Structure 1
Amino acid sequence: MAAEYVLELKNIFYTGQVEPGTCFQRIMGSLKTGVILKDVSLTVQSGEVLAILGSKGSGKKALLDVISRRIQGPIRGQILLNNQPMSLSVFQQRCGYVTHKCDFIPGLTVEETLYYIPTKTSAYNKKSRVKQVMADLALSQTANRCVENLSKSEYRRLTIGVQLIKEPIILLLDEPTWDLDPLNTYLVISILSNVSKKYGTAVILTMEKPRSDVFPFLEKVLYLCLGDIVYAGGTRQMLDYFNAIGFPCPHLENPLMYYLCLSTVDRRSRERFIESNYQIAALVEKFKIEGPAFQKESIPEGNHNDVISHNSKIPLLQERVSVFKTAWVLYTRLLMATFSFRLAGLKQIFLRLIFVPLYFLLLWAFYKDMSNYQHTFVTRSGFILNSLAVSCFLGIVNTVIIFPVYRTRYYQETQEGLYGGCIFLITYNFLSIPFSFFSLIAASAIIYPLIGSFNEPMEFIYFSLILWACYIFAEQQTISILMIVKDYLTGAICSTYITCVCLALSSGILRSIKGLQDWLYYLTYATQLRYAAAYLNRQIFLHTDLHNPLPFDYSHNCSKTTMIETSNFNGPTNMYCRYANGQSFLTERYTRENTDVIFSGILESDFNLSITFAFALGIIVFNLFLYMIPLPAFLKAKFRD
């Protein structure tokens, strides 16, 4: 098959991090760096399979990252695709990269996972393409199986299929056979070989322990040791080359593994370490002198240069998928994952629709016996606190359970240039916000009769909207934290801590606002819970049931004096009551001067309702901008690898 595309690497040098470092070291730039790739050159044509072999730390993955333009650090040399520089945009549009780990969205089937990848292909052609890819990867029998129920081999083949859907001209694979048994290793390599021949795709893969049975499927091989090339060229010519330099492969020995061991530093003893280092250095020098002749033999005779010159006229960059089509595909994928009616989908439905009302039902059980006596002021204050706290904390819990899966998939797909953070959040919010609205309406309907009646429908709607706004704010606050915090439990703890501080200082329930220091008092103006709590306090404590003085309990009224009077040992006849009505309770909690709480403006209904929603809308917009900010590569790598 004539070559259609040619990838060339010429004298690549790369200097980067040579050992893991802490986040602080990364930020301060104090990481230990060194030369990872040293004068690497290779050529791969369409329809060829190239295996990059080497022990751990040899530079295999670094080479893939250099080709894919994902690497951060100084690079010298040229990466050419048909004599044109390989830019990041060219790689993202025309090539594919199968990373060692790929996270799929639970609840989707194999066919749905492949179908809901943003591409320019029309719906009908895409269905045909999906069926063809599943057939090529031996996944047709698992088309309707959920991704979480796949075996290791099936899961690995699906990660390859996600890239093949985009019809790449070059496909990079990082350890595609890692942790697979021999039979499945053979299956994956044979599939990749068939794909490369069938579609003219240049396949470049890394392997740490190659088996002899994959030898026939590899047209070319590259041996790396600590960034140096020990051999690069055709697998057939490899045997002749090592024979020529005095290292013939023993009879019945796996040539791939034999020469890999020859290219690996022996660390079993100091003597073996020094000896193997000298040997590898000699092999590297011999290849620089004698290797080019064997590399030329691996290139087909004829018009190789003519092919490159001709194909260089083919435009590499293509028109990108429209923003609206991408957004629609992502939104549809979210819907399919949510309404899949499988275990993962039912879990999402429960969390999004049922979990919050169920918890509010528990809240109703605790407060259903509220009666209009003096203790009702404290009880109703606790009711407000719990209503706000439950709304916020359940928003956090639902987010840390549902969102990380989509977040991780976003970080992996944005590396491929499929879409940006703004589109991702818009589509996620379009699904999440309506669900939370209906969930909070149902939850409010459970507890609202405890403090009002449905004869006042607007008051019920406002009550529900306040709780909904608090839920949205907590959800979006957690999404902000999960942008940079990978562990969902850590993200939940951070978000919960922030919410607890705001509840304690701003709600006026756990501590009177007027008792705060000035700097804390003015700081509460920057929190949503101050306005949400103020609205609910006004709605509940200025209710008609609390306008008149309330008795101490069911058998004792309040005295008009300020002292507790006792008549005899039979018990008090008149009890001192602290609050004359709901207005006096709110005055104690909110006013810093001796002014009427009604006229102070702090409980103004329309203002508090508007500001509560302004906070919710503001943090949504803030997140859209936040997810558009380019993050450091090491931060994105936490979610990609």
Structure 2
Amino acid sequence: MRVTSEYVLELSNVFHSGQVESGSFLQKVTGNLQTGVILKDVTMEVHGGEVMAILGSKGSGKKVLLDVISRRAQGPTRGQICLNGVPMSMRLFQESCAFVTNKCDLLGSLTVAQTLNYATQLTIGKKVSGFIKKSRVKQVMADLALLHVANRPVGQLSDSEYKRLAIGIQLVRDPVVILLDEPTVDLDPLHTYLIVSILSNHARKYNRIVVMTMEKPRSDIFPFLDRVTYLCLGDVVYSGSTRLMLDYFRSIGFACPEMENPLMYYLCLSTVDRRSRERFIESSSQIAALVERFRTDGAPFRRLVSVGLDTEPVDVQHRVPLTAYGSPGTFQTLTSLTRRHFQTTMSLNRHGFKHFASRLLLLPCYFLLLWVFYFGQTDYQQSFTTRSGLIFNALAGVSFLSIATVAWTYPCFRTRYYQESREGHYSGPLFQMAYLLYSLPLSLISVFSSTAIIFWGLQLAKSGLNTRQLLKYEEEGIAGEILVWARYSLILWSVYVFMEQQTVALLMVIRDSFTAATISVYLTVIYLLLGTSVMRAITGLPDWLYYLSFIIQSRYASAYLHEWQFKDKFEGLQSYTSAFKLRNCSSTNTSPSIGCRYTNGTHFLIERYHIKHPPYADDLNMEMNFGVSLAFTGIICVLNLILHTVPLPSFIKCKFRE
């Protein structure tokens, strides 16, 4: 679109057909939904510096009209929609226009200033200097009366401040046209007046176009509306100058009574009366006559430029919109998204602490409880099952807490992604990459600090070693111990990330986080039952379940941890008998009646894994199991990147946007 000092948005003979009923899930999947004509021959125009209100009762087509202008509407559309004579396309709208939806979910832990700063980074290209971007943020906060709450978290804003911030996120990029769906809904009269006056001032001061829908307009906003369009069941009853509206309706026999709100009076006139059959027929006939009358006589009112009528002149700034300087590059967008994720977690407020605690404190607290529970359990014959149980509890805790963390903290990022991607700011893979850059370091810190509690607190590396092994261990020193701890931690970290990405994949299509978490937990329980060899030994599985376990990550993680913990360890054990006497446990003295069941750790593993027993392969191969466990994590991360490129059905995406 060429840059000019005069902007005109024109709609000519626009018809649109779309879904008229919600339909069942099966109908949505198959696309077999009942459709009908929603907009019928809509013709209107609005100029730079003007505010247009689209009025109508529920079901009149107001929201659909905004969707059609923004090219978001699903279904066939006929007619012309032009901005400065250029046909409106999705790309043109995303580059030069903006849409403020009725419901906008923002990140509650960010402050107002941070929210607007990140909005500039995600929408304004690098051709615009950082100083200009900061100045733009301050100007928008001043225009929207948000300077006094610049450092207040979004989660602590009032409804009016929240609405103004949602508008500011779009205004900060200086769009030529801004569409707003019910920007004053649920607000008191004072704040309704404030928002409409702010939008009017923005349009006049910067020569921009503002189009908004309203269902219950008050009389005190009448002076701020330059144009108005009345819709009834998709038909245009009137569209044109607000100040000439009274003359038009008076000329056709519908003068507004004195002391009446003209906006509401003509809205009632344009609404079908459904209180009885007779009133329905009468009002429908009257509205049909009004629609036909405006089609024949309304052209002069549609085209008349009304800015300046009966008003003081304003100092219009004919400046080039910031959208003309292009969008940010991929690297800038990726960096901004990642920084915003970290800022959300590190913010010093109630909402930020929720993210911080779940990401960095929850897992260490769990492992501290494990240390308390297992500390002091030193009887070796009990230690086999006890330490195997420790491995199971570590795997289960890492898995379930990862799921809980994602279900608690991810939905806010997901909602912003679905809303911002619709505006064309970034793609799904870019969002997923930014989320990985944010979540992987935090999960690494959380898991490594957690495993340190039990690794050194329970002396896991030294337990079960004979004298020769202890001497070798001491020769390797602290560096060798740290290396063993790092590998131990990486195994649990791979499980944590795998479960995190599994839950993220479910949350792509399931809106309710509790439902998604429940499904992920059920899957994880199956993984743990089949793959860990604790609840049921691998050797005891039927052949089909045994081979099925090869596609379960916890099988390899558990096998690695068990082999590291038990193989070639716990030689020359002793056990307490019922008479509290110590007995040596050897290969010839393993009777349970005298307290001996396992001669050593390898004997314990043979009961649970196939170790060089054809036709099964050796289940215990530390390097292979270590590599495969990490490979599972890498595969699911790549898979999620691919899934974010797959176009989802519109009825799924709409669940997260509205």
TM-score by length of 1: 0.92
Distance 2:234 2:572 in 1: 84
From 531, 534, 537, the counterpart of 2:559: 534
User: What amino acid is aligned across from residue 258 of structure 2 in structure 1?
Assistant: H
Shift of 1:561: 6.6
User: Are positions 1:354 and 2:351 aligned together?
Assistant: no
Distance 1:261 1:31 in 2: 31
Q: What are the equivalent positions in structure 2 for 1:65-464 lying under 5 Å apart?
A: 65-117=67-119, 118=122, 119-120=124-125, 121-298=128-305, 319-449=326-456, 450=458, 451-453=460-462, 456-464=481-489
The 1:547/1:141 distance shift into structure 2, 3 A limit, reads same
Distance 1:368 1:46 in 2: 74
User: What amino acid is aligned across from residue 625 of structure 1 in structure 2?
Assistant: I
Distance 2:5 2:277 in 1: 47
Q: What are the equivalent positions in structure 2 for 1:471-490 lying under 5 Å apart?
A: 471-490=496-515
Distance 1:612 1:427 in 2: 23
What is the RMSD computed on CA atoms of the aligned residues?
A: 2.3
Shift of 1:173: 0.1
Preserved contact between residue 37 and residue 63 of structure 1 (Cα < 8 Å) = yes
The 1:447/1:293 distance shift into structure 2, 3 A limit, reads same
Distance 2:113 2:586 in 1: 76
Distance 2:612 2:336 in 1: 57
User: What amino acid is aligned across from residue 460 of structure 1 in structure 2?
Assistant: W
User: What amino acid is aligned across from residue 459 of structure 1 in structure 2?
Assistant: V
Q: Which residue of 1 aligns with 2:549?
A: 524
Shift of 1:596: 12
User: Are positions 1:582 and 2:601 aligned together?
Assistant: yes
* Unpaired segments ≥5 residues, structure 1: 302-310, 566-573
Instruction: Out of 579-588 and 179-188, give the one that drifted further.
Output: 579-588
Shift of 1:76: 0.9
User: What amino acid is aligned across from residue 520 of structure 1 in structure 2?
Assistant: L
Preserved contact between residue 337 and residue 431 of structure 2 (Cα < 8 Å) = yes
Shift of 1:417: 0.5
Distance 2:609 2:168 in 1: 61
User: What amino acid is aligned across from residue 464 of structure 1 in structure 2?
Assistant: S
The 1:369/1:75 distance shift into structure 2, 3 A limit, reads same
Preserved contact between residue 52 and residue 212 of structure 2 (Cα < 8 Å) = yes
Q: How many residues align?
A: 619
Shift of 1:320: 2.7
Shift of 1:202: 0.4
Preserved contact between residue 13 and residue 75 of structure 1 (Cα < 8 Å) = yes
The 1:543/1:279 distance shift into structure 2, 3 A limit, reads farther
Q: Which residue of 2 aligns with 1:27?
A: 29
The 1:471/1:297 distance shift into structure 2, 3 A limit, reads closer
SS of the residue corresponding to residue 36 of structure 2 reads strand
Preserved contact between residue 89 and residue 317 of structure 1 (Cα < 8 Å) = no
Preserved contact between residue 550 and residue 580 of structure 1 (Cα < 8 Å) = no
SS of the residue corresponding to residue 53 of structure 2 reads strand
For residues 274-332 of structure 1, what are the alpha-carbon distances to aligned partners after superposition, in whole Å with 9 as ceiling and x for unaligned? 2111111111111112222333445789xxxxxxxxx9xx9997633111111122222
For residues 544-597 of structure 1, what are the alpha-carbon distances to aligned partners after superposition, in whole Å with 9 as ceiling and x for unaligned? 3x23344255535358778969xxxxxxxx626332222122112122884699
Distance 2:393 2:339 in 1: 36
Preserved contact between residue 93 and residue 318 of structure 1 (Cα < 8 Å) = no
Q: What are the equivalent positions in structure 2 for 1:606-625 lying under 5 Å apart?
A: 606-625=623-642
Preserved contact between residue 49 and residue 203 of structure 2 (Cα < 8 Å) = yes
SS of the residue corresponding to residue 102 of structure 2 reads coil
For residues 1-37 of structure 1, what are the alpha-carbon distances to aligned partners after superposition, in whole Å with 9 as ceiling and x for unaligned? x961111111111111112223322011222211111
TM-score by length of 2: 0.90
Preserved contact between residue 47 and residue 199 of structure 1 (Cα < 8 Å) = yes
Distance 2:634 2:195 in 1: 48
Preserved contact between residue 55 and residue 225 of structure 1 (Cα < 8 Å) = yes
User: Are positions 1:58 and 2:60 aligned together?
Assistant: yes
SS of the residue corresponding to residue 42 of structure 1 reads strand
Shift of 1:458: 2.2
For residues 37-85 of structure 1, what are the alpha-carbon distances to aligned partners after superposition, in whole Å with 9 as ceiling and x for unaligned? 1111111111111100000010000000011111111111111111111
Identity of aligned residues (%): 52
Distance 1:550 1:35 in 2: 84
User: Are positions 1:551 and 2:575 aligned together?
Assistant: yes
* Unpaired segments ≥5 residues, structure 2: 309-317, 463-477
User: What amino acid is aligned across from residue 90 of structure 1 in structure 2?
Assistant: L
From 13, 16, 20, the counterpart of 1:14: 16
Distance 2:325 2:38 in 1: 33
Preserved contact between residue 352 and residue 398 of structure 1 (Cα < 8 Å) = yes
User: What amino acid is aligned across from residue 101 of structure 1 in structure 2?
Assistant: K
User: Are positions 1:492 and 2:553 aligned together?
Assistant: no
Distance 1:343 1:582 in 2: 48
SS of the residue corresponding to residue 105 of structure 1 reads coil
Q: Which residue of 1 aligns with 2:645?
A: 628
Preserved contact between residue 367 and residue 454 of structure 2 (Cα < 8 Å) = yes
The 1:333/1:103 distance shift into structure 2, 3 A limit, reads same
Q: Which residue of 1 aligns with 2:656?
A: 639
User: What amino acid is aligned across from residue 416 of structure 1 in structure 2?
Assistant: E
